Amino acid sequence: MLYTILFTLGFIAIAFMLLAIKIIVKKGGRFPNPHIGANKALADKGITCAISTDARDRKRKVLEDRMIN
């Protein structure tokens, strides 16, 4: 059982090192930002995050209600 736990911890440590190799080797390296709003390729296609889209739609609806009244 102890062997299994140590093997698992070692395997996880190696996996983290392999995932972070770009960050460790490259000067000023960092993980890429996974947020949709920070992705230039998606922004070029007009795709935004759900929170930004919801906020924009809520403002638009309030403005429409103000224009009708």
Q: What is the DSSP string of 10-52?
A: HHHHHHHHHHTHHHHHSTT--PPP--GGG-HHHHHTT---HHH
Q: Which pLDDT score, from 0 to 100, does residue 23 have? A: 79
Residue with the bigger pLDDT between 63 and 55: it is 55
Handedness of CA 53, 55, 60, 62 (dihedral sign): positive
Is the pLDDT at 69 greater than 60? The verdict is no
Q: How confident is the model at residue 66 (pLDDT cuts 50, 70, 90)?
A: low
Mean pLDDT, residues 40-58: 83
Q: Which pLDDT score, from 0 to 100, does residue 12 have? A: 97
